Structure 1
């Protein structure tokens, strides 16, 4: 999950509705990148040819359509993610009015962010990792047993989504919501992150957030079992965390933990199934999972706003301009990763940006790795001949990639 102070926190939308960046003057890169091509089905499945074309022009490239800087270089993205003095996650620092309902672990900067981040870190420590591990494996065994005899099944709906919803609610120590109610709302929030490319998705995304925050408020009306949510609710007043920020942040943990983890199970498994079965290995170590995150992680964009004039990748970035880091591109930067277009299960070091960096780096990265390790390792060992039955149907999301469906089969007695 990505701080993300949660499992995985979905990144800021590429360009915040209501804010306008200033058009740079004389920087030599006022360029039409054809960014909307990222919404085409082929690019949703593989955006890297587009990323490479951008990188050939500049690792920090101005886009005239959405009026933002597109960052594809690793060093440049790493710098912007860590530099909280020059680049902010809290849009109020550049004068954008942000309603209290949107203030959370995901959108605040230090020092407000530090208080809620430390509180959420305490919550992770209060959760029992052994119970979570057993829950993940038991649920996975149950879900796989239900589908292994089918000719074909949708891995998204039958395994990835129910598994991660069970895992994140177990982590939080809260009741599991109805999947058919929760998943569409959660997907609507992810759609809203692409509001610069699809403006019609912004307001529904805000409304969906409000509904999940209401759900978090319902949790607090009854005693909670010992664990993550119970701990942070009890400690919030003494930690100086505002009640609304607490509810919004619990919503972020639920939403981000579910979305990024479930989408990674899908993008990761798709990558593995494209490898000939005789060349596959079970991805059952932290090292192997992190290489899959680098190569096929679902989070492709995180954005920041420039707080004061600065320089990034030899480009002058002015106060008020938006900088969007394309993490998928940065994670295949040949200046940092040897043979970046190949999966190398023993890659060391692996300083990928799939879990972010800096103050908003993922607090629950190890939990996300644990869920993926259990899932990919179990499938790899039990079903070495698992196969893709048809081409996946991608969701129209640039910020956080995902699939409507992934039809696969575990049976090797069928053509």
Structure 2
């Protein structure tokens, strides 16, 4: 069993299959100090949820500990309650006002067209040909904006996503800052010009009187985070789900039962989720899992480990499509959960329904390549085919 201090989220073996490593870490020391990452690592479900719930003791907003946070980084994801409450409520009300079944239906129609176009291809990349266009289609339809160019937006989003690992590699921070600046300019143009029905128009219309205020900036930053974060989470989740279905073809066949669609999608996310971890800062000295946490120390909540904690999930290494309850942390938890969670769930349901409706089964067509990122678990390349035969993918 490896010593907790040897845990390396970017080690090739860990990237390929992190769950045995995380299980060993949890068994050895559920709350452990990682010297090179300079933070506490949490691997137990109960400890993770306790930290995510306690906004007073464990802060997301680093300004509460005296740190400076640039204005472009202020959004519902970076502030704590009650400071985030007004804008979060604005966005959640706008989300609930949308025609979500209609958005999912349009996504299924477009996906069917794309899948038909891939039939004649001997091999294609699921990430570029399915995950990226489906994710952009869903999030753009939800917000009511024109889809950005797929290739250029994917590059900008990738820079933002990689900058989440800036604590492991500081060279990723500046490209991420520049990418966020580009996205902020794009979102600002949407607020000026977009008149399409959708979440963004609802937000704009119900935020009247907030122009030229700090709250206006907060709203635009949150829109950027929702668009980019929803997109990148969807791309990662789609890749992970497709990879699981490629390696376990019986799972997709079982999901023909409509009763298993919702619970099955939830279980697929729990089994191999897109978001691997998130961090908080202790606002005062406390104790967690028998370990003393000092004020100002960072606590990293390993969501992927929590989702495979056998205390919370019976047989966590098995896919139980009817698992209920299934309070997984695949999209985070509570007021800081991914604000694009609803969009990601719609995309995954559309994906499963589309693959079930397609006349030819999807098969692996080569070795899958994991992206070298710690915070987001995703694929760079995931080869597949609708042709006969195929080869088994690997993690």
Structure-1-length-normalised TM-score: 0.88
Correspondence for 1:281: 254
4+ aligned runs moved over 6 Å, structure 1: none
Offset of residue 386 of structure 1: 2.1
Counterpart contact for 1:32–1:64, Cα < 8 Å: no
Correspondence for 2:358: 382
Offset of residue 55 of structure 1: 1.0
In the alignment, structure 1 residue 257 sits paired with structure 2 residue 230? yes
Offset of residue 355 of structure 1: 2.4
Deviations 1:268-289 (A, max 9, x none): 1101111155984237611000
Paired residue for 2:80, among 85, 93, 109?
Answer: 109
Correspondence for 1:25: none
Evaluate the alpha carbon distance shift between residue 214 and residue 344 of structure 1 in structure 2; reply closer, same or farther with a 3 A threshold: same
Give the secondary structure class of the aligned counterpart of 2:177. helix
Correspondence for 2:268: 292
Correspondence for 1:94: 65
In the alignment, structure 1 residue 309 sits paired with structure 2 residue 285? yes
In the alignment, structure 1 residue 144 sits paired with structure 2 residue 115? yes
Correspondence for 2:142: 171
Instruction: Please say which of residues 130-139 and 291-300 is displaced more in the overlay.
Output: 130-139
Which consecutive unaligned segments of at least 5 residues does structure 1 have?
1-30
In the alignment, structure 1 residue 370 sits paired with structure 2 residue 342? no
Deviations 1:55-96 (A, max 9, x none): 122111100001100111000001011110101111111111
Evaluate the alpha carbon distance shift between residue 274 and residue 97 of structure 1 in structure 2; reply closer, same or farther with a 3 A threshold: same
Q: Higher RCO, 1 or 2 (CA under 8 Å, sep at least 6)?
A: 1
Give the whole-Å Cα distance in 2 for the aligned partners of 1:191 and 1:118.
Answer: 29
RMSD: 2.0
Deviations 1:26-45 (A, max 9, x none): xxxxx762233x21333212
Instruction: Please say which of residues 368-377 and 382-391 is displaced more in the overlay.
Output: 382-391
Counterpart contact for 2:282–2:299, Cα < 8 Å: yes
> How many pairs does the alignment contain?
384
Correspondence for 2:305: 329
Structure-2-length-normalised TM-score: 0.92
Give the whole-Å Cα distance in 1 for the aligned partners of 2:136 and 2:198.
Answer: 17
Counterpart contact for 1:127–1:172, Cα < 8 Å: no
Give the secondary structure class of the aligned counterpart of 1:138. helix
Correspondence for 1:53: 24
Give the whole-Å Cα distance in 2 for the aligned partners of 1:53 and 1:414.
Answer: 34
Deviations 1:88-128 (A, max 9, x none): 11111111100111111211112221111001012102322
Paired residue for 1:349, among 316, 319, 325?
Answer: 325
Paired residue for 1:268, among 241, 266, 271?
Answer: 241
